[in-house]
Amino acid sequence: MALTYKKAGVDISKIKQSQREIGKLIASTHNLQKKAKMKHGFGHYAGIVEIPGGKLLATHTDGVGTKVVIANMMKKYDSIGIDCIAMNVNDIICIGATPISFVDYIAANKNDQKIFKQIVKGLVTGAKKSTMPIVGGETAIMPDVIEGKGFAFDLAGMVVGLLDKKDMILGNKIKTGDVIIGVNSSGIHSNGYSLARKALLTKYSVKDKVKGVGIIGDALLKPTEIYTNPVLEIIQKCEIKGLAHITGGSFTKLLRLKKIGFEIDSLPKIPPIMGLIEEQGVKSEEMYKTFNMGVGFCVMASKDQAEQIKLIFKKHKISSQEIGQIISKKGVFVNSIKIT
């Protein structure tokens, strides 16, 4: 029987139902603050309010999911903080905002100064790559909530971004004929780990070495790529229609930008670790709805902007390529198969 994200314990459709209900509830708070006028709320990559002076303030919060389980298995904690920064800044730049500050939240079952120091080293590395200060955080020791033999923890954070009204990008200007530029991922990044563990760890150990993949645990822990600096440069120098961080739900995320058609037909070679997951009985369609499949970020623009966009990514030593185009038929299509 084929492995799916749902069978691994994560039902995306039910999660989206929960998110819709949450969205209805929090909408009742949108007009409570007279000094911060609501501009865009729940459902995109960041919430946006207009503050005195005409500037827009964007906020977003995210964590690293069950990638923390792999960090514990490998007893390696110095890169998981990079993932936490990446998951936040890569989202907030999708609406055109510059990340200006960050706070983290570490919850653990016990106080382990050495491990905390390693986690924070990763946060600092990610913050420096994002050109963004970490301004505070919280460490909570909760043995009754965070369970596990030995050390166990969770890691999340919140980013604040700043932008001008003219720089706000929500995807509403995307139109048929625009191209989709896919920006290469560094690996699995920080989503789909419940399915990845279910697929891989019934056959392999995290310490096993597989040809073409290397040590499985190292491949799974490879830090999420941070796209902040090239994307912010692209926003300033090119005419961008839409930006998407490819995370949970993979390419289905594109529909949050605009209810239009996204045809993807020229993806790069998938990272070996994802090929290994697929070999364990995960169907191709499920892979493209769960994992980034080698593309961690997408830029939507008119065809005449494509070369400059790719050159800017190249300058920042990140590979990118045209992976598809916008079509009139609604949905997301990968290699002619509709995935949502």
Q: Describe the strand order of the beta sheet including 37-40 as a list of residue ranges.
A: 37-40, 47-50, 56-63, 153-163, 98-108, 134-141
Question: Sign of torsion, CA 268 273 275 277?
Answer: negative
- Model confidence pLDDT, tens digit, residues 222-250: 999 999 999 999 999 999 999 999 998 89
- Model confidence pLDDT, tens digit, residues 305-336: 999 999 999 999 999 999 999 999 999 999 98
CATH of domain 33-167: 3.30.1330.10
Average pLDDT over residues 5-25: 76
pLDDT at 10 over 90: no
pLDDT band at residue 35 under the 50/70/90 scheme: confident
Distance CA 276, CA 206 (A): 13
pLDDT at 41 over 70: no
Distance CA 145, CA 107 (A): 9
CA distances from 204 to 209, 216, 280 (A): 9, 8, 11
The better pLDDT of the pair 209, 24 is held by 209
pLDDT band at residue 87 under the 50/70/90 scheme: very high
pLDDT for residue 14: 81
pLDDT band at residue 1 under the 50/70/90 scheme: low
Residues making up the chain, counted from first to last = 340
pLDDT band at residue 95 under the 50/70/90 scheme: very high
Average pLDDT over residues 27-34: 77
- Model confidence pLDDT, tens digit, residues 160-176: 999 999 889 999 999 99
pLDDT for residue 276: 97
pLDDT for residue 292: 96
Distance CA 204, CA 68 (A): 18
CA distances from 140 to 79, 108, 110, 202, 266 (A): 20, 6, 9, 32, 45
Pair of tokens at residue 321: 């390529």
CB-based contacts of 293: which residues, under 8 Å, 6+ apart? 250, 251, 267, 270, 274, 287
pLDDT for residue 15: 75
What mean pLDDT is reported for the chain?
93
Q: Report the percent of the chain where pLDDT is more than 90.
A: 81
Instruction: Locate CATH 3.90.650.10 in the chain.
Output: 179-338
pLDDT for residue 334: 94
pLDDT at 5 over 90: no
CB-based contacts of 168: which residues, under 8 Å, 6+ apart? 39, 40, 48, 56, 95, 96
Distance CA 143, CA 111 (A): 10
**What's this model's pTM, rounded to 2 decimal places?**
0.93
pLDDT for residue 128: 98
Backbone angles phi, psi at 21, to 5 degrees: -65, -40
Instruction: Locate CATH 3.30.1330.10 in the chain.
Output: 33-167
pLDDT at 42 over 70: no
Q: Which CATH fold topology does 179-338 show?
A: Phosphoribosyl-aminoimidazole Synthetase; Chain A, domain 2 (3.90.650)
- Model confidence pLDDT, tens digit, residues 115-174: 999 999 999 999 999 999 999 999 999 999 998 789 999 999 999 999 999 889 999 999
The better pLDDT of the pair 41, 214 is held by 214
Average pLDDT over residues 256-277: 95
